[in-house]
Structure 1
Amino acid sequence: MVKVSNGKSLPQPMRLYLSVDKLSVQKQEMCPFDTNELGDENVPGENEIRIVKIIRDENTGLGLSIKGGAEHSLPIMISQIFKDQAADKTGKLFVGDAIIKVNGEMIVHCTHDEAVNILRNAGDLIMLTVKYYRAATPFLKKEEKGKDGNDIKSGSDKTNSTNNKTLTLSKKWVDVTVVPLTMGYVTRYIYGTDKLRPNGFEIYGLNCIKSGIIFCDTPAILSQWLKYISDNISTLIQLEIRMYNRFCSAAERIEFMGWVNEGIRQKTLEINIWNAYELKFFAIKGSEVYFFENPPLKADDWAECGSVYKLYESQLKIIKETDVYDERQHCLLFTAVGNVVKYLSIETRQELLKMENAWNTSLCSAVRRLKEVKYIVNVGKPRVPAEFKIDWNYGYSLRDTQANGCIWRYRYSQLKGSSDDGISSLKLLFRDEKTGGIETREFESSSLELILYNMLAFAGSKFSLVDSKYSHPII
């Protein structure tokens, strides 16, 4: 048992029901229950919530009758559907359907007359949210119509009997909200901020479905729910990844997908303040990094993503807990060529470590497929063009483009330091293997930023094969 609020009203007691692929927020209601054995009918499932569109007929109206209401402690039930009229033409409404919403407006607590008025004034195009109650169907089909054809009779014992069919009222847990967990997101933070909810969390599903704010009695219960829900979401995402990777080449494999919060820089201030956040869907696929507004559900979504970066032209750095800018935990700094800076926060440390591992694995694979990069640079005085190459197997080299000869070459392990002016000039310090002395190599390039990111990617990937904890300290 938990308490749930929509953020505007006081929390109400409810129950959570967690299955593999969804979380149901449920409350107790008095529902009709038939004590007699029922035959099979071609009708919807007992727990299926459906949305049905009806176009009102100007002559005959909706073509249905209803029974029940709050004054009888009963839901609003469809008791009759008139042949060849609007409700019947949909083919999707049944006697025994309880009407939960009319055009998105909840009517579960309305009286009978209030529900009639809402339906009569709902317009010509009506969206009904309904749920089927199998046990009530025989009673509704056999019950004699009241004087207006819409009323339902209820005695003080809340029991009606017709043709030996008995309808009683019993307490039952019914779904208020069902949140799909595939590509879902669970968070303790108040949306868009760095503030944690005390003993509370919220779940976001696809199609803007939200659980509401769920409050637990103790931190231990909160921790358990967060773990169970997060594990299910992670399992479903991994299943999506495996299904996608079955049909793609090794160079296009997805290594990671998950939600992150991107900090919004307060541009009016001179210092960085990131305590406003936007939810983004982050993915590593092949040699590229993606930031989506919504999860990719089809192949075209990947091609249409507006924020895509090459792994070897970007960097991901975990921020120490002592260096974070606000109250957010598990933060990272993403930078890329073009002065791209993204301050990111992830909900759990477990997810943070998964992302870091996927990044390192994908970067190494991307660099090995790339093999080498070359840039035209200017060296010497006066400046003359040369070709600077970063090679996966051999390291760094500079070649004279006119004489077609090698000017110098060093392995990755020989690079001991570097400095640049942030514009075009780069100075590299290499240790000579024979003398042990430091040799300085300088050149200029209009692609300085790109060269630095590539050097970091190649060297970092090379050394991570030897030491998985290696981080490049000199670029």
Structure 2
Amino acid sequence: MSVAGKQPPPAPLERPGSLLVPTWTKTGIALLYDEVSENAYDIRLKLTKEVLTIQKQDVVCVSGSDHSANHRTVTLRRQPVGGLGLSIKGGAEHKVPVVISKIFKDQAAEQTGMLFIGDAIIQVNGINVESATHEEVVHLLRNAGDEVTITVQYLREAPSFLKLPLGSPGPSSDHSSGASSPLFDSGLHLNGNSTNTAPSSPSSPIANEPKYEKRWLDTLSVPLSMARISRYKTGTDKLRSNAFEVLALDGVGTGILQFYTAQESADWLRAMSTNISDLTLQNMKMANKCCSPSDQVIHMGWVNERLEGTDSSQLYKFKFLALKGSSFYIFSTPPVSTLDWVRAEKIYNLCEVLFKIHKLWLADDCWLQANMYLGIHQDFDLEDQRLYCFSVMAGHGKSHYFNVELGSELAVWEKSFQRAIFLEVQRTGSKTYMCSWQGDTLCFTVDFALGFTCFDSKTKNVLWRFKFSQLKGSSDDGKTKVKLLFQNLDTKQIETKELEFQDLTAVLHCIHSFIAAKVASVDPLFIDSQSIARKYMYSN
């Protein structure tokens, strides 16, 4: 797809500092891309705190009697210098209409005040040309005499390459040979075959005729509350170039919004994501008014989940995640009422899940540092090309692999999982699991204050107890058995405790959650320093 003409000036951008919840307001020119026809149409975007509005240009009657809202009939008087004062593009041979692509200043077409770039020519002197080729329309216009009556209709969805800004030079064909091309301007500002050697009176609007203006009109408004954004082709890991689409909660979508530069695309993506996040925060605050202090929503939002075990092109599907109270929720659609929380696809206890970052967009030297100090590495063996990926591992070996659109979103999810898990550990205080060793049924407790305790399930007699600081290592068979290595405070010797659990993964995740929460309670800055996502994403 090519974009003809000059690039529009940078859109005005404002982030009001006086608002309690900061939002982006933004207006600018973009393209609406049609994947079927592979054409792009000029649009204007208006972003407010709560709504994204798409506008398309149309010609409207601003005064006088408008006899036909769709068609306009205009009489042009061919000038000795400048001819009809317009150029055209398009033609039936390329399955596009013949469209006015240029109007030259102070010449016949502009003087009428009724013709505009983007007008499709319907008739020439009463002859219908909707199915005519480019060359046929050029020939008809050049040989129509000194007065040419044309009927036009403005095309709001004319492909952008058919239109050029007023007076822009643009490419043109060699008309001296009589040849013309439907994808390049055929200039009808030349004299043509005129029989009048004296100057004609200029084409000008008659006093009682309707007057027209080209204006941007609202065609679609997309509410941003609970909306989602995707830069990828539906269900795949193929990233669109300088483009994305916005989908509202009710499924209404903008279509593919394409931008002239990568920077412009990134600016719009950040602005819309910010407003969606701000509205999500407001929804969380409203939901939390109906929840007890121990059941608050910490964070929620849209992600893409990779589908496992599929060979189709539908590799990813939208999911809505929420961290609320003691649980991690996975929804197909957002919960909008209190009753909706029971219809989650999956619900996991936060103490028994493990959050892991898989892919960030970092420079090579940053990855070297991340791998050396934090043990985080790029999973190049993964079969997709999506950036900003994380997984959530749960009990019984279950795992979910997610992707978000921005690095800042990944950083928020990392921070939110940490906070939600730490709060749940502190609220719960302890978790006890049934286990066994050498035929004996035992209970294993992880306690935020006391550390690890193992006792007989029948007699309740404590068999051993160790603090978190005494745990020096562990190993497991990947199935049910684990060895915990503790240092005896008196002898300084390592003691090995072997246990067997039905759901070993959940127990190991719980141990990790309690230890991380303990460290955070002692040294919060240490936990923040370990956030590779926050450290590098915000700087990028």
TM-score by length of 1: 0.68
Q: Deviations over 1:39-96 (max 9, x none)?
A: xxxxxxxxxxxxxxxxxxxxxxxxxxx98452249xxxxxxxxxxxxxxxxxxxxxxx
Distance (Å, rounded) in 1 between the aligned partners of 2:487 and 2:54: 64
Q: CA deviation at 1:168?
A: 4.1
Give the match's secondary structure for 2:385: coil
The number of residue pairs the alignment matches comes to: 351
TM-score by length of 2: 0.61
Q: Deviations over 1:323-346 (max 9, x none)?
A: 152211111011111332111111
User: Residue type of the partner of 1:294?
Assistant: T
> Which residue of the other structure, out of 187, 211, 220, is the alignment partner of 2:230?
187
Give the match's secondary structure for 1:319: strand
Report what 2:245 is aligned to: 202
Distance (Å, rounded) in 2 between the aligned partners of 1:230 and 1:426: 44
Is the 1:188–1:196 contact (alpha carbons within 8 Å) kept by the matching residues of 2?
A: yes
Identity within the alignment, %:
32
Give the match's secondary structure for 1:70: coil
Seen in structure 2, the aligned counterparts of structure 1 residues 67 and 344 have a Cα distance that, compared at 3 Å, is farther
In the alignment, does 2:323 pair up with 1:284? Answer: yes
Distance (Å, rounded) in 1 between the aligned partners of 2:462 and 2:308: 46
Distance (Å, rounded) in 1 between the aligned partners of 2:350 and 2:404: 19
User: Residue type of the partner of 1:14?
Assistant: I
In the alignment, does 2:345 pair up with 1:306? Answer: yes
Distance (Å, rounded) in 1 between the aligned partners of 2:35 and 2:242: 15
Q: CA deviation at 1:447?
A: 3.6
Report what 2:419 is aligned to: 361
Report what 1:372 is aligned to: 430
Give the alignment of 1:67-466 within 5 angstroms: 68-72=68-72, 168-267=211-310, 276-321=315-360, 322-324=378-380, 325=382, 326-380=384-438, 383-465=439-521, 466=523
Is the 1:371–1:391 contact (alpha carbons within 8 Å) kept by the matching residues of 2?
A: yes
Report what 2:527 is aligned to: 468
Is the 1:159–1:168 contact (alpha carbons within 8 Å) kept by the matching residues of 2?
A: no
Q: Deviations over 1:193-228 (max 9, x none)?
A: 112111112111121111111111112211211121
Report what 2:55 is aligned to: 26
Distance (Å, rounded) in 1 between the aligned partners of 2:459 and 2:391: 43
Is the 2:359–2:387 contact (alpha carbons within 8 Å) kept by the matching residues of 1?
A: no
Is the 2:396–2:503 contact (alpha carbons within 8 Å) kept by the matching residues of 1?
A: no
Gaps of 5+ in 1: 37-65, 74-108, 112-155, 162-166
Seen in structure 2, the aligned counterparts of structure 1 residues 420 and 160 have a Cα distance that, compared at 3 Å, is farther
Q: CA deviation at 1:274?
A: 10
Distance (Å, rounded) in 2 between the aligned partners of 1:176 and 1:267: 38
Seen in structure 2, the aligned counterparts of structure 1 residues 408 and 360 have a Cα distance that, compared at 3 Å, is same
Is the 1:159–1:169 contact (alpha carbons within 8 Å) kept by the matching residues of 2?
A: no
User: Residue type of the partner of 2:425?
Assistant: V
In the alignment, does 2:34 pair up with 1:6? Answer: yes
Give the match's secondary structure for 1:417: strand
Distance (Å, rounded) in 2 between the aligned partners of 1:251 and 1:158: 74
User: Residue type of the partner of 1:349?
Assistant: G
Seen in structure 2, the aligned counterparts of structure 1 residues 368 and 22 have a Cα distance that, compared at 3 Å, is same
Is the 1:274–1:343 contact (alpha carbons within 8 Å) kept by the matching residues of 2?
A: no
Q: Deviations over 1:165-215 (max 9, x none)?
A: xx6432221122211111112222222111211111211112111111111
Distance (Å, rounded) in 2 between the aligned partners of 1:343 and 1:258: 15
Distance (Å, rounded) in 2 between the aligned partners of 1:333 and 1:354: 14
User: Residue type of the partner of 1:30?
Assistant: V
Report what 1:15 is aligned to: 44
Q: CA deviation at 1:280?
A: 0.8
Is the 2:471–2:484 contact (alpha carbons within 8 Å) kept by the matching residues of 1?
A: yes
Distance (Å, rounded) in 2 between the aligned partners of 1:223 and 1:417: 45
Distance (Å, rounded) in 1 between the aligned partners of 2:31 and 2:302: 25
RMSD: 2.7
Q: CA deviation at 1:19?
A: 1.1
Q: CA deviation at 1:21?
A: 0.7
Gaps of 5+ in 2: 1-28, 74-119, 123-203, 361-377, 531-540
Seen in structure 2, the aligned counterparts of structure 1 residues 420 and 203 have a Cα distance that, compared at 3 Å, is same
Seen in structure 2, the aligned counterparts of structure 1 residues 362 and 397 have a Cα distance that, compared at 3 Å, is same
Is the 2:431–2:445 contact (alpha carbons within 8 Å) kept by the matching residues of 1?
A: yes
